[in-house]
Amino acid sequence: MLYVKTEGMMLKMKTEQSVEQLSLYSNEYFERRYDIYQQLRNEAPVCWNEEMKSWFITRHADMTTNLPGDRFISSQVIPLKMNNLEKGEDQHFKDIIDIIQTWMVYHDRPDHTELRGYMNRAFLVNEIELITPEIKKIVATIIDRVLEGHTESFDFVEEIAHPIPAMVLCKMLGIPGAEVDKFIKWSDDIALFMQNFVVSHVPSKEISEQVRGSVKEIYAYLSNAIAERRKEKKNDLLSRLISETPGVNGELTDDQLIAQTMHLIFGGHKIPQFVLSNSLHLLFKNPEILNMLKKDMSLLPKVLDETMRLEGPIQYIVRHASADIELHGKQIKKNDSVYFFLASAGRDERVFAHPDQMDITRKGFRHMAFGGGYHTCIAAAFARAEIMEILKEVISRCPDIQPLYDLENPEWTSNPTFTGILHMEVKVNGN
């Protein structure tokens, strides 16, 4: 049996916990997860975890080999999760699940291919080029407002990383700026539900009750917005996604479009938020790279790649085996749940030299932060463009930016699925 040895930070006591019993909600996991991943990669690259009732896979090569193709699928994630509930308990989640299970991420080929081909319209190069000037305007306006109201310091997450991606999405979709606060609340609530749903063997009824209202509100809002654009198209993405022949030849019905747009709002808001906070945090921890960036903004793509490798926003993704599979001597049965730890792959010493160091000179590597195979994040190029524009503007406008929070112990998200810093007080006056 493999044991993970940890040191309690407060009690200074040595403890040990079997991997089979390791809790993703434990202090040990949150405090030392990258050390735990390393031990798993070296000693138990495929192991069963009793809490999650799932296999844990932690090596980079096993993900690049197994995420593409159809050996591990996502369409069973929701049905099998619901099977864990007692009879009748599924009614507490039905109205939310009925929408979420139609998201592209929970479909496999060929349905996924059809949905992805349709939603790709949102992320064509010309769409990204169209929205980039708007991103610049939004970022400049917000930073002006922040610096006028906070001459000495401000919370980077609260003032920049959290609201700006929502503002960009609203602009992209043609949603009035006055509605941004609504969208932020809706997105935060959906994220709360998904964080609980993904990681829990049995999801929380209390969280479902809390989130249900937001799901109904956003569904009604988008339904009305689509109806308005059917009467009169606008120069926005939502108008361009509306089909003249819904339900015909692969064109999405209004219900399908609403569901995919909800997924876009969730992913397009929370993921950039976490990447922004994590990027600036790593730059603070590596001041020599921050100084290099101030002199040469063309280094931003490399900075972002290293952020995604070292502190990507998603720790793991969940799949199910489509057939019996043997991996590293372990027998994974059909329909078994499998956690692919993307965050572990990014620090795999078999692939990356000095894997725990931020190194923007790396060449020829590929991080796994956007997933793999045909489920690779559809919005990756857009997210990169948006995040780099925001970071560029912040660093250019605030050349003396410094951290005022605890660099060694920042306030991370308390959920094991998503990783981001919740509060980052920064100093913007060099005096």
Flag whether pLDDT at 372 surpasses 90.
no
- Are 81 and 203 a contacting pair, CB within 8 Å? yes
- Are 265 and 217 a contacting pair, CB within 8 Å? no
Flag whether pLDDT at 233 surpasses 50.
yes
CA atoms within 13 A on the CB side of 412: 23
Interval 129-141 mean pLDDT: 86
pLDDT at residue number 10 = 31
- pTM, to two decimals: 0.91
pLDDT at residue number 39 = 94
- Are 167 and 138 a contacting pair, CB within 8 Å? yes
Predicted confidence (pLDDT) per residue in 16-44, tens digit: 456 667 888 899 999 999 999 999 999 99
Interval 145-172 mean pLDDT: 93
pLDDT at residue number 19 = 67
pLDDT at residue number 52 = 87
Residue 255 phi, psi dihedral angles, 5° rounding: -60, -40
pLDDT-based confidence at 215, cuts 50/70/90?
very high
- Percent of the chain at pLDDT exceeding 70: 95
pLDDT at residue number 227 = 94
Mean pLDDT for all residues in the chain: 88
Which range is least confidently modeled, 17-26, 184-193, 228-237? 17-26
Flag whether pLDDT at 194 surpasses 90.
no
Domains of the chain: 88-312+373-427 (1.10.630.10)
Looking at per-residue pLDDT, the higher value among 151 and 273 belongs to: 273
Rounded to a whole number, what is the largest CA-CA distance in the chain? 67
Interval 323-333 mean pLDDT: 97
Flag whether pLDDT at 103 surpasses 70.
yes
Greatest mean pLDDT range, 129-143, 152-166, 361-375: 152-166
Please name which of 368, 365, 324, 327 lies closest in space to residue 345, comparing C-alpha atoms: 368
pLDDT-based confidence at 398, cuts 50/70/90?
very high
Which range is least confidently modeled, 16-30, 74-88, 255-269, 295-309? 16-30
pLDDT at residue number 81 = 84
CA dist., res. 177 & res. 130, Å (int): 18
Q: 411-412 and 46-49: which strand pairing?
A: unpaired
Q: Where are the alpha helices (DSSP H) in 67-204?
A: 77-83, 94-100, 111-119, 125-149, 156, 163-173, 180-199
